[in-house]
Amino acid sequence: GAGVSQTPSNKVTEKGKYVELRCDPISGHTALYWYRQSLGQGPEFLIYFQGTGAADDSGLPNDRFFAVRPEGSVSTLKIQRTERGDSAVYLCASSLSGGAREQFFGPGTRLTVL
């Protein structure tokens, strides 16, 4: 079956612009996570969805970042007024549910803010 997919694979934007990053989780996975990986660093947690609701958004760095999962499947990470410091690889992962099950990661979206 298909794994986690993310689109686009690369996104270049200008400072101040709005961007949307999409994640398609594995079918049937109720848990979905967003992480951000800066150059030379490990992935950093941003937000966790269980179904349609954001169960934990404590990792979102500020109010320019927002994520939705309206139907409990596809999720979109939205970044307003992008800054150069937002440049990173944004990773999405899904799992069957909570309970320390394996998280399956997508290939990521590389965001570059000029």
Partner 1 sequence: AQSVTQLDSQVPVFEEAPVELRCNYSSSVSVYLFWYVQYPNQGLQLLLKYLSGSTLVKGINGFEAEFNKSQTSFHLRKPSVHISDTAEYFCAVSGGDNTDKLIFGTGTRLQVFP
In angstroms, give the least distance from the CB of 106 to partner 1. Answer: 6
In angstroms, give the least distance from the CB of 45 to partner 1. Answer: 4
Site for partner 1, rule CB under 8 A: 3-4, 31, 33, 35, 40-45, 48, 55-56, 59, 91, 93, 95, 98-108
In angstroms, give the least distance from the CB of 84 to partner 1. Answer: 21
Calpha distance 75→35 (Å, rounded):
13
- Structure tokens that stand for 32 in this block: 């979905």
Q: Which is nearer to partner 1, 73 or 108 (CB)?
A: 108
Q: Which is nearer to partner 1, 66 or 107 (CB)?
A: 107
Cis status, amide bond into 25, omega within 30 of 0:
no
